Amino acid sequence: MAKQVVEFIRELFKTDGFIPLHAPTFQGNEKRYVTNTIDSTFVSSVGEYVDEFERKLEQFTHSEKVVATVNGTSALHTSLYLAGVATGDMVITQALTFVATCNVITHMGAEPVFVDVSPVSLGMCPHALDEYLQASARLTETGCIHIATGKTIKAVVPMHTFGHPVELEKLSAVCDKWHLVLVEDAAESLGSYYQDKHTGTVGAFGALSFNGNKIITTGGGGAVLCKRKEDGVRAKHLTTQAKVPHPYEFYHDEAAFNFRMPNINAALGCAQMEQLPVFLANKRRLAAHYQDYFENTQFQFVKEPSYARSNYWLNAVICPDTATRNELLTTTNDAGVMTRPVWQLMHRLPMFADADRGELTYSEYLEGHLVNLPSSPVTHFS
């Protein structure tokens, strides 16, 4: 059936040429706004577009405070720093994620711990999280302690896989029970909602990404979503080298980060935000076409959870077996239709091979069965 899938995707995207997995769309004010920054000479981290981009994100997500950063990785780093993660701590995340999630934990001097994902969301499973904690942790006056090592388990970082929101209410309940800080890796989920709440706004902090392959792009960029305004004020301070405002003096009151988004990138982001509702509508139409096509086939199309509204950042199918997955990947890519498998699980990478982990049954199943399909927000769907 792989050849029929190629034909179907070519008909969807109406091209005989190469079809990327997810390409950016520039059909608005991108050139005009970027040219404005060049003409103004304010292309770095001071400029009106940075403030405007943050305001647009606050209005769209209903986050109390948004701070734009240079990329999604730095946004997650800032979020974990604000959550109090320190050297020697442990942070629980999912094995099925992009490597940046775990790199940030490591670069902070902490250790990742891996739990399984849920068939409901493809993101962190609340039952797997609670089962791991029941077996491996205990609560003390100083916090949640890992029994085997005596280290503090500080935070939990679920990732909204392919834009599908995790079961946030259940995860929040587990975090509250074990006195853990919930930090959402919302890199892939701008425009996704858990019930009526935008992803990244349920936990104490959330991290967005605006890489070139995301639903909107600033070239490279990210943002920290803060549940409390005072945390947003501190995030902005930390990401600008902790410089104390002054007309000309340079005084910094703590060791901080150079993570602020440049004005020229924010200009691109402002133009993209103007088109975001159209991108979201077109991506949902694309997902509906995929869902209809794969209905009653050997492939299971990945649908949004019943409690959520997904941005369908990357569409995906689950194949009946690994051989079928491999055939689909080979046939599509040989035909110039880009598909990809899910990431290799984090504990299979050499730098995380010794990380503690719970049972990863469903993560391992997806690793051998899932294929992502072309998902660019094209505009010709009706």
At 315-341, the pLDDT tens digits run 999 999 999 999 999 999 999 999 999
Alpha helices for 257-310 (secondary structure H): 263-294
Question: Which residues does residue 317 pair with via DSSP β-bridges, in sequence order?
Answer: 301, 371
Q: Quote the mean pLDDT of the chain.
A: 97
pTM above 0.85, yes or no: yes
Tell me the pLDDT tens digit for each residue of 234-243.
Answer: 999 999 999 9
382 pLDDT higher than 80: no
Dist. CA 21–CA 314, nearest whole Å: 8
Dist. CA 27–CA 281, nearest whole Å: 15
Rounded mean pLDDT of 136-159?
A: 97
Share of the chain above pLDDT 70, in %: 99
Per-residue DSSP letters for 238-263? HHBTTBPP-SS---BSS---B-BPPH
In our burial notation (b when 16+ CB lie closer than 10 A, e otherwise), range 22-57 reads bbbbeeebbeebbebbeeeebbebebebbebbbebb
Helix axes 263-294, 30-40, angle to 10 degrees: 160
378 pLDDT higher than 80: no
Dist. CA 247–CA 369, nearest whole Å: 58
Per-residue DSSP letters for 57-88? HHHHH--SEEEEESSHHHHHHHHHHHTT--TT
Report the SS3 class of residue 272.
Answer: helix
Q: Is 188 within 8 Å of 314 (Cβ atoms)?
A: yes
Distances (CA, A) of 275 to 106, 207, 272: 36, 21, 5
Dist. CA 209–CA 217, nearest whole Å: 8
Domains annotated on the chain, with CATH: 2-25+275-344+369-373 (3.90.1150), 30-273 (3.40.640.10)
Radius of gyration of the chain (CA): 21
Q: Residue 85: is it exposed, middle or buried by C-beta count within 10 angstroms (0-12/13-18/19+)?
A: buried
Distances (CA, A) of 301 to 146, 271, 367: 38, 32, 15
381 pLDDT higher than 60: no
Length of the chain: 382
Dist. CA 339–CA 45, nearest whole Å: 36
State the pLDDT confidence band at 379, using cuts at 50, 70 and 90: low
State the pLDDT confidence band at 375, using cuts at 50, 70 and 90: very high
* Interacting residues of 207 by C-beta distance below 8 A, sequence separation 6+: 72, 75, 76, 78, 79, 183, 184, 185, 186, 187, 200, 222, 223, 224, 225
53 pLDDT higher than 90: yes
